[in-house]
Structure 1
């Protein structure tokens, strides 16, 4: 048996919570304390790509929220931990609409442009039409993955590994599927997405394709399997974000592997061992990810072979990446946003926010790079 180093164990446990059935028994303590090795020195910023801050606004603190920024055209939908939900115009930073739900939230926002939905810490799903609340319904446990809104339905992946479909207009429950799993689960967003006429869900170490009309399983594609002798070692979850090119869908299994599947057939194309806890992004040729120790990796999408590895940001807690033109963009826990070359991870620019840590993977909307911090700052950056 191979023993994990204390720093690696602490990083692995930082996002975990204990569940027995639907009961939250509290957060696991960190083993060996919460200290991490000193981050690598960044050196002076030499901007190869000119980028300027175009606007900034506020959503409210996102601390403790499994935030996911949802992009629809030129609009970015965001939520705060306290229960504020906003649709922000990425062209100006102004509000399209904003709602205060009056209850703490557990997940980010899902939306199709009309209907929007969030999950609360009190195990409810709340639906909105525009910025107006229309219904609330209980779910079996907290949901850390933003609900999926598609086909006039709202799909919820709860932390007990149940998947529930609601009618978006009325809140009527259409179906519910329950999947058994290991006793630990990640307190962060997973995979819940539409791919053609299939609902794709991350359940334990598998991507599972459901019929969205009735919840029947069409296929299962394993990216990782539980191993080890205790609950921590056996934890396997698929984490967001994912990278999709046509029917080719790539994802990460927490602290275990990255891999790509053919989502039309549900067959695994390749997997590679990887020890990160955040999702991936990519393009037709490459797939990019960040590891738990701050290493940034690139794999060739065709076969999973390693293209490059960079330790320039080692021991910084990094977000999932965003592929943006010639750049791979990642945020860190000091509020910096790093633009790295997709060819070799050489630095292209470094952007500052409010110093509180980047809360979610960066997104792009209306030719604007949008990042959100733990303090709730929302920043829009554009090329000079």
Structure 2
């Protein structure tokens, strides 16, 4: 029987930090986060919406995120509730699952999609919160779904990709990713390549392009390598969502590389060593990566040349970076939102929320933030 072990990221970091042992004791090197660097603030963020929901486990890297559709913001509570807000007015709130929620929100085509750790997928009506349908998957759902072509595409934690009809929740197809014995506890979300194809990333550092209508595989390619000597050091997961920009597919991997793949000829254009579990940000000619050790690095998209590197935030458990207007934003373990000049990597400002920043998104030039402590908020440039 094949068994698959999901390893919490924090435990992996602790394991990799072992520096010596004897028959009766193990010495662990403690890694301290860098203190906040002193900066001359030239810019700041202004909050336009905030709401508190239940906190999530500090050891479980759930990516509960806010989403918006038609001017309405949808908020998921890990205790099992989903709510809709227009401005500061709550339009509705629904108890969706007594077993809690572990993934979402994806809001599109008049649906709100969330899931839980028992593999239950829920579709709600955007206008009323009424439950339209539910579906049972074969594994936990710990990353948001994708709605495309009247399909809800979801990756379960056992490595199965599911497609369900948006209208009635009937399963249309399923695609099984290769079994991997060891992996981090985390999944990349499916991402649209074009109007029909999607890309799914796996724990074995492969990416798979699949037809969203039929489930037929169109391409598979390994995009990262790890040369560790143990199972832990060979972990090479792609947990950050891939990014598609023109002909480029950009991926990051844990203990691997940041890679640019040419979708036209399926060849790797460049690959640079970097360990990251976060989605990269790609804007203009820049690829911005937050590594697991807290470095922020910018690469040139066509060559992979390093444009700059900032190590002032080492070991601060950085979130995924995003571009808000002309500034790069990244969150950290203390809830700070660091504002970075994307041309130089210089820190130019910061704002503060509450709890480790787990998810950053930019929708309609506003920053959507979700933290481990349950602080969900929307910000804009001041």
TM-score of the two chains, using structure 1 as the length reference: 0.85
Indicate the residue corresponding to 1:101 in structure 2.
Answer: 96
1:256 pairs with 2:223 = no
Cα distance in 2 between the residues matched to 1:346 and 1:51: 17
Residue 184 to residue 73, structure 1, CA distance change in 2 (3 Å): farther
In the TM superposition, what are the counterparts of 1:106-185 in structure 2 within 5 Å? 106-130=102-126, 131-185=129-183
In the TM superposition, what are the counterparts of 1:343-382 in structure 2 within 5 Å? 343-354=343-354, 356-360=355-359, 362-382=360-380
CA-CA distance at 1:242 after TM superposition? 3.5
Cα distance in 2 between the residues matched to 1:25 and 1:224: 19
1:40 pairs with 2:34 = yes
Cα distance in 2 between the residues matched to 1:363 and 1:24: 26
Compute the RMSD of aligned alpha carbons: 2.6
In the TM superposition, what are the counterparts of 1:1-384 in structure 2 within 5 Å? 21=3, 30-31=14-15, 32=18, 36-63=30-57, 64=60, 65-72=62-69, 74-89=71-86, 92-102=87-97, 103-130=99-126, 131-196=129-194, 197-203=196-202, 204-225=204-225, 227-354=227-354, 356-360=355-359, 362-384=360-382
Cα distance in 2 between the residues matched to 1:200 and 1:322: 20
Cα deviation 1:131-150 (Å, max 9, x = unaligned): 22122222111122211111
Cα distance in 2 between the residues matched to 1:25 and 1:269: 31
Residue 256 to residue 324, structure 1, CA distance change in 2 (3 Å): same
CA-CA distance at 1:66 after TM superposition? 2.8
Secondary structure class of the residue paired with 2:239: strand
TM-score of the two chains, using structure 2 as the length reference: 0.86
Greater CA drift, 296-305 or 79-88: 79-88
CA-CA distance at 1:22 after TM superposition? 6.9
Work out the number of aligned pairs and report it. Answer: 362
Secondary structure class of the residue paired with 1:240: coil
Structure 2 residue ranges without an equivalent (≥5): 19-26
Cα distance in 2 between the residues matched to 1:157 and 1:352: 32
